[in-house]
């Protein structure tokens, strides 16, 4: 997983051939020290300002998914015994929610379609007359897809959750590292977002949102990016966080729908899902 403990921001300036001053800011990161992170930030800021002044901007604006680490604050890490590399990390993303990142417990979010598929005029008339069966709902199609998946691979066990705008599916029976071909196969079969599939592979982890989205709770959006530029900016974030934690406590992220396939549960998966469910489940609250 491409996460770092220390983050810093630096700004550098240079002059264009027209004698205009160019300022560019950049972030640096390290797992050793804040000083090392700051040195990297300074170096990157100098490179960015120079390339911008030289009009060679594509080098810094054409970076693909996975070529940079995830710029999020690490809230908590989980590892086995004396292992140094964590198997799970809770981080806070760019809009302020907590996210579970895990190396080998497959999570797939499947969004509801934004538009219903069009039906032909003849089909609509036959449906109204009761001659033609109604089209299956998205939920029914997803359940059939899940049943076909576990039928083709009886070793798979799946847990299904409802989210505010779709479904979340976790593989319970075994661990599947996100870099394996099997991960892509399962994610694509379930209809997971292509961007998410690419992110899982390149960042070497799956991601599952743990806390409600602010705007679904009626909250103002978080406009402050991590790492914070100053103590004053960090204080603004802390004020936002206190309000968010108070408001979001009235909502839930998921509701459990059911389980399919193998009833075997991998011990690591069980501990990860226990952590996940602690944050996301509350049947008495609306989803957000």
Considering its fold, how many domains does the chain have in total?
2
Read off the pLDDT of residues 73-128 as tens digits, 9 standing for 90 and up: 999 999 987 777 899 999 999 999 999 999 999 999 999 987 655 555 555 566 66
Shared domain for 225 and 267, answered yes or no, is yes
- Residue 287 maps to a domain: no
Rounded-to-integer distance, Cα 59 and Cα 230, Å = 28
Residue 106 lies in a domain: yes
User: Is 288 part of a structural domain of the chain?
Assistant: no
Q: Which of 54, 53, 51, 90 is nearest to 73 (CA)?
A: 90
Final residue belonging to a domain, choices 18, 43, 62: 62
Q: Are residues 49 and 111 in the same domain?
A: no
Which residues on adjacent β-strands are paired with residue 261?
Answer: 157
CA 77 to chain CA centroid, nearest Å? 16
Domain that holds residue 45: 1-62
Residue bearing tokens 């491409």: 2
Q: What is the pLDDT of residue 128?
A: 65
Q: Is the pLDDT of residue 67 over 70?
A: no
Mean per-residue pLDDT for 211-215? Answer: 98
The arithmetic mean of pLDDT across residues 59-68, rounded, is: 49
- CA 238, 240, 242, 244 dihedral sign is negative
């Amino acid at each position: 997983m491409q996460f770092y403990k220390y983050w810093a921001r630096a700004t550098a300036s240079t002059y264009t051939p027209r004698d205009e001053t160019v300022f560019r800011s950049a972030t640096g990161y390290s797992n050793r020290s804040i000083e090392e992170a700051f040195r990297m930030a300074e170096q990157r800021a100098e490179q960015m300002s120079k390339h911008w002044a030289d009009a060679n901007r594509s080098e810094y604006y054409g970076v693909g998914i996975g070529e940079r680490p995830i710029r999020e604050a690490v809230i908590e890490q989980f590892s086995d015994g004396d292992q140094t590399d964590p198997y799970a990390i809770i981080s806070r993303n760019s809009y302020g929610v907590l996210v579970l990142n895990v190396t080998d417990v497959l999570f797939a979010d499947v969004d509801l379609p934004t538009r219903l598929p069009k039906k032909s005029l003849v089909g609509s008339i036959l449906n109204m007359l009761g001659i033609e069966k109604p089209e299956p709902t998205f939920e029914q199609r997803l359940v059939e897809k899940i049943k076909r998946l576990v039928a083709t691979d009886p070793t798979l066990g799946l847990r299904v959750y409802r989210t505010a705008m779709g479904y979340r599916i976790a593989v319970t029976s075994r661990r599947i590292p996100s870099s394996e071909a099997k991960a892509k196969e399962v994610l694509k079969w379930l209809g997971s977002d292509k961007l998410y599939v690419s992110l899982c592979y390149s960042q070497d982890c799956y991601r599952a949102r743990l806390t409600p989205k602010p705007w679904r709770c009626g909250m103002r959006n978080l406009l402050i990016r991590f790492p914070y530029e100053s103590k004053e900016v960090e204080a603004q974030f802390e004020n936002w966080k206190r309000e968010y934690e108070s408001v979001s406590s009235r909502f839930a992220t998921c509701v459990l729908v059911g389980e399919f396939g193998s009833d075997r549960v991998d011990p690591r998966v069980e501990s990860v899902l226990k952590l996940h469910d602690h944050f996301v489940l509350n049947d008495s609250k609306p989803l957000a």
